[in-house]
Amino acid sequence: MNSNRKTLNNQIMKQAASDAFKKFHPRIMAKNPVMFVVEIGFVITLVLSIFPTLFGKGESALYNAGVSFILFLTILFANFAEALAEGRGKAQADSLKKTKQDTKATLLLPTGTTKLVSSTDLRKGDVVIVEANELIPSDGEVIQGVASVDESAITGESAPVIKESGGDFSSVTGGTRVVSDRIKVKITTNSGESFLDRMIGLVEGAKRQKTPNEIALNTLLVSLTLIFLIVCTTLVPISSYVNATVPIATLIALLVCLIPTTIGGLLSAIGIAGMDRVTQFNVIAMSGKAVEAAGDINTIILDKTGTITHGNRMAASFIMINKVSKEELNSIALHTSLHDETPEGRSIVELAKKLGVPREEFKIEGSHGVEFKAETRMSGTDFNTGRVVRKGAVEAIKQFVLEQGGSIPSDLDMRTKQIAIEGGTPLAVSEGNRIVGLIYLKDTVKPGMKERFEELRRMGIKTVMCTGDNPLTAATIAKEAGVDEFIAEAKPEDKIAVIKKEQSEGKLVAMTGDGTNDAPALAQADVGIAMNSGTIAAKEAANMVDLDSNPTKIIEVVSIGKQLLMTRGALTTFSIANDVAKYFAIIPAMFMLAIPQMQSLNIMRLATPESAILSALIFNAVIIPLLIPLAMKGVKYVPMSATKLLNRNLFIYGLGGIIAPFFGIKVIDLLLTLLHVA
């Protein structure tokens, strides 16, 4: 999934050319009503080129054949555009399929023994052991141990990442390789339902559904086609009234030139290419709707830990409170984390070792751990002797101690504020009903965040940071990162509340996160982007997954979403504007002999009625392959106001769509005249 790889090659081009012919099947063409009308016209003119007197008129077989051939090319070019877009996605899917292979897994049985089984036999809930140089057999979560994992087969990033039990970096993906150490993994998906399986299906387009915007535009195109079909049909009685005979092939040519064939031929390719461009940035979009919604985003909600910051908060120091001795605090802080397997908990244990806490204090016999919960916002250890030690958010520990009949030390708030001002996270430590100290946790903002958020601001997008930290810590991180707003001491329901508030004001909201507690908010947001390094729950709730786990990738996603909408709008404008020039080419040619006054509308001074019609048809056909690169690459997005953007695109694609056919049709007419084709 390397974003720098070459996305088009000879093999893809050859396959697309082959698939373009297969798409001539009426059942496939019927899915695109505009091009289906062109195909019906092709069949009729083909029959007329073989039987020119079929309808009792002596029409030129050569002229009918010429129209038929040009219509054939029009359909072929449109099919090629779609096949090319699909081919690029299939090429990516093929590379992913090479990663997905049937591997052997060491299954841990309930009896404690192990058994070698096929990865396809694994089921959700199974526990496997994966050692160095072994492939992880399926998606899961590390429940024991720490290991370096090579995820290059999926992310394209050669540097291995650390995966460990607890926290938000425990998720592992099937097909990745353990580089060092040994981990115990709990399988979270059944065979055929893994993240890699879903990626393959989405990338190759097997599950691509048309977006609401695409459906609406398709409805418009069908409506225009029906209108022009009625117009062309009424030309038959009108022409007979003025004693003019309009050949059937000419009527079909007029219809094909007037209906929006350009955008009709490229519409599907634009949608496929839009999702493909997201994939180029190592982001897997679960639907085209999510990509489109990203283009209209007004607000982005970002989780702090692991998203804006590195997320590896480590214990930097123990701070004494209320005249507690240094040795006593070190021992109690250690005891709060004896059963804590999270990175933070292990860092507290490591700090206690460095500070010289006696070895016998590290024994866990006679105690059991109390896990952290979002509701309580604390964790700790209960001893069989009745001794209770806790660590957690300062306000949570305060309430806990007061409920136990204790009191709050006078210097607690001052020490807490000092840590927060320095950008750290304070955890209060208690024993029984007394608070004995603080643990100073340090986290750092990821580089380049301030510049990226400034770029989002220029795009008119508001950024809001949500964090469970206290207001002072949150304010310090928010200022350093450069976000517009922040919400401190946020619980999962608070994140959902702020998303709903923004949505109630008519805004589209994006959310990035990586933890299980982010999952509800990711599901509520219009665009939810989960980090690949995050938990399975987060990835399942989101409608996009960032394989590089880079939260600033939202900028690229938003740009691609805007680019997709702009490309579709620009080519629609260009296609409809084209019809104006084609009108001046074909209408005078149809009635010039019967109504000489129509010559005044022949402003392009086209040589003959036949050359005028063929020139317009040829231009209508060749413009499709000429626009394929633009459909695949997309219209370049530059941050500016909506008014300026609209005016710019109307000038380029509206005015350009009118002018280009005048020159193109005239040049083709001159060539046909020189070649004596018409």
Q: What is the mean pLDDT of the chain?
A: 81
Catalytic residue of the set 150, 168, 303, 669: 303
Tell whether the model's pLDDT for residue 554 goes beyond 70.
Answer: yes
Mean pLDDT of the 606-625 span: 85
pTM over 0.85: no
Label residue 591 by pLDDT band (50, 70, 90).
low
Pair of tokens at residue 551: 């939260």
Residue 599 or 110, more confident? 110
Higher pLDDT, residue 221 or 98: 221
How confident is the model over 430-459, as pLDDT tens digits? 999 999 999 998 777 777 788 888 888 888
**Predicted confidence (pLDDT) at residue 243 exceeds the cutoff of 90:** no
For 409-423, the pLDDT digits (tens) are 988 988 988 887 776
pLDDT at 2: 42
Of residues 126, 520, 112, 129, the one with CA closest to residue 303: 520
- Determine how many CB atoms are found less than 10 A away from the CB of residue 368: 11
pLDDT value for 472: 77
Under 8 Å between Cβ of 246 and 14: no
For residue 612, what pLDDT is reported?
Answer: 81
Going by pLDDT thresholds of 50, 70 and 90, the confidence category of residue 648 is: confident
Angle of CA points 488, 475, 505, to nearest 5°: 55
- Please give the DSSP secondary-structure letter assigned to residue 55: T
303 catalytic residue (yes or no): yes
For the chain, first and last CA: distance in Å? 51
In the prediction, which pLDDT does 4 show?
38
Structure confidence by residue, pLDDT tens digits, 294-352: 888 889 888 776 667 766 678 889 999 878 899 999 999 999 999 888 778 888 999 99
CA-CA distance, 672 to 678, in Å (whole number)? 6
Q: Are 561 and 295 in contact (CB under 8 A)?
A: yes
CA dihedral for 10, 13, 15, 21, sign (positive or negative): negative
Residue 90 in contact with residue 99, Cβ under 8 Å?
no
Buried b (16+ CB within 10 A) or exposed e, 51-89: ebeeeeeebeeebbbbbbbbbbbbbbbbbbbbbbbbbbb
Find the range with the poorest average confidence among 4-13, 21-30, 350-359, 556-565: 4-13
pLDDT band per the 50, 70, 90 thresholds, residue 206: very low
88 confidence band (pLDDT: 50, 70, 90): low
Show the tokens assigned to 211: 């977006």
Annotated binding site for Mg(2+): 514, 518
Reduced to 3 states (helix: H, G, I; strand: E, B; else coil), residue 595 is coil
Q: Of 211, 193, 179, 434, nearest to 324 (Cα)? A: 434
Q: Are strands 509-513 and 299-303 parallel, antiparallel or unpaired?
A: parallel
State yes or no: pLDDT of 626 exceeds 50.
yes
For 310, which DSSP code? -
Give the confidence band of 381 by pLDDT, cuts at 50, 70, 90.
very high
3-state secondary structure (DSSP) of residue 108: strand
Q: Which domains does the chain show, CATH number per domain?
A: 10-91+203-279+558-675 (no CATH), 295-308+446-547 (3.40.50.1000), 313-442 (3.40.1110.10)
304, 474 Cβ separation under 8 angstroms: yes
Q: What proportions of the chain, in percent to the nearest 5, are helix, strand and coil?
A: 55, 15, 30
Per-residue confidence (pLDDT) for residue 68, from 0 to 100 = 92
| pLDDT tens digits, 568-586 | 888 888 888 887 778 777 7
HSE (CB half, 13 Å, CA atoms) of 621? 23
Supply 439's token pair: 């643990």
- Bind-site residues: 340, 344, 372-379, 391, 514, 518
Q: How many CB atoms lie within 10 A of CB 94?
A: 12
Return the number of other C-beta atoms located less than 10 Å from residue 307's C-beta. 31
Q: Which of 238-242, 405-409, 519-523 has the highest mean pLDDT?
A: 405-409
**Structure confidence at residue 447 (pLDDT):** 76
Give SS3 for 6: coil
Residue 242: per-residue pLDDT = 66
Share of the chain above pLDDT 70, in %: 86
The whole-number average pLDDT for the span 26-43 is 91
pLDDT at 596 over 50: yes
pLDDT tens column, 478-507: 888 888 998 888 777 888 888 999 899 988
Task: From residue 344, give the alpha-carbon distance in Å to each of 165, 420, 656.
Answer: 11, 17, 60
Taking a C-beta distance cutoff of 8 angstroms, is the pair 415, 426 a contact?
yes
Cβ contacts of 402 within 8 Å, gap of 6 or more: 408
Place of tokens 């297969």: 22
342 vs 197: CA distance, rounded Å: 29
In the annotated binding site for ATP, the residues are: 340, 344, 372-379, 391
154: confidence class by pLDDT, cuts 50, 70, 90: low
Long-range contacts of 99-107 (CB under 8 A, 24+ apart): 99/153, 99/154, 99/175, 99/196, 100/174, 100/175, 100/194, 100/196, 100/197, 100/200, 101/135, 101/175, 103/134, 103/135, 103/137, 104/137, 105/130, 105/137, 105/138, 106/130, 106/131
Per-residue pLDDT at 92: 59
DSSP assignment of 116-144: EEEGGG--TT-EEEEETTPBP-SSEEEEE
Grouping H, G, I as helix, E, B as strand and the rest as coil, residue 609 is helix
The half-sphere exposure of 287 on its side-chain side, counting CA atoms within 13 A, is 14
CA quadruple 318, 321, 326, 328: dihedral sign: negative
Cα distance between residue 75 and residue 43, in whole Å: 12
Q: How much of the chain, in percent, has pLDDT values that exceed 90?
A: 14
pLDDT at 344: 83
Task: Output the CA angle 499-503-506, nearest 5 degrees.
Answer: 155
- Across the range 134-139, mean pLDDT stands at 84
